[in-house]
Amino acid sequence: MKVKKAIIPAAGFGTRFLPATKAVPKEMLPIVDKPTIQYIVEEAVASGIEEILIITNCYKSCIENHFDVSFELEKKLEASKDQEHLEMVKEISNMANIYSVRQKNPRGLGHAVLCAKSFVGNEPFAILLGDDIVVNKNGKTATQQLVEAYEQYGGSVVGVQKVADSQVHKYGVVNPSENINERCASVKGFVEKPKKEEAPSNFAILGRYVLTPEIFDLLETQEAGKGNEIQLTDAIDRLTKQQKVFAYDFEGVRYDVGDKAGFLKAQIDFALDRNDLHDVMVDILKNTKL
């Protein structure tokens, strides 16, 4: 079955970016001039996804508004004959069929994903976390790589990359079983945010998944784990006891935009990659006092 649906969990409070996120969702903070979540939606669409469900909360209606039609803005742009921005605005609302549902209780990522059960139905689906932007210039998106791995191997696939020993405590970490090829391995389990000395590998789950719908039955019975939250990693660990699960070391540069340092690096790199801003950013960096 083709992967045509995706979930973007976006119900967190973004406390690491306070006070900016007191009134503005962290997913709407721009990388240069585009909201973070739009990069995530664009990746999903480029990967063949046709329907997207964004998991939000009661403070994040502006995310829904961003992907909706804006009649007043379009009329204003038409009147001023600003065709470039008019086409840009219309394109945002026409990218895909985008829906939203609210996570009423902040009980963790696993619980947020469970809110999408009726949307997904009995289909495989992708998950793209909004804290991770992945750029793979002239190559396939991270999600597309996972979708193709799912189609080839026939099981759930988690996107991973290697991280330093000092960073494993931040992530769900793979306990690999057998190497399928240089990028893919079958998995016998996962450990959520292990201590360095307890980590089974250096391969961390980095914000991209393609899962089978059986994960929902496990999430419904999943007990709270780290942080007293329903952890998606714990449910996937249980899934490995029922069916094949794979870890895929996806190609691409990953930016952790949920972290201040990662967010700033993304600003610089994305500006340098634009023809209209490259020279300006180079001058800024050259003239910055260290």
- Residue pLDDT, tens place only, 58-110: 888 999 999 999 999 999 999 999 999 999 999 999 988 999 999 988 888 99
pLDDT of 225 above 80: no
Q: Are 85 and 40 in contact (CB under 8 A)?
A: no
Mean pLDDT of 154-168: 92
Higher pLDDT, 273 or 225: 273
Label residue 252 by pLDDT band (50, 70, 90).
very high
pLDDT of 39 above 80: yes
pTM here is 0.93
Q: What local confidence, expressed as pLDDT, does residue 190 receive?
A: 86
Instruction: Give the torsion sign (CA, 202, 207, 212, 218).
Output: positive
E strands, the chain, are 5-9, 30-31, 34-35, 51-56, 97-102, 125-128, 132-135, 156-162, 172-179, 184-192, 203-211, 245-249, 253-256
pLDDT of 290 above 80: no
pLDDT of 227 above 80: no
Residue ranges of the domains in the chain?
Answer: 5-258, 259-290
Question: What is the architecture, at CATH level 2, of domain 5-258?
Answer: Alpha-Beta Complex (3.90)
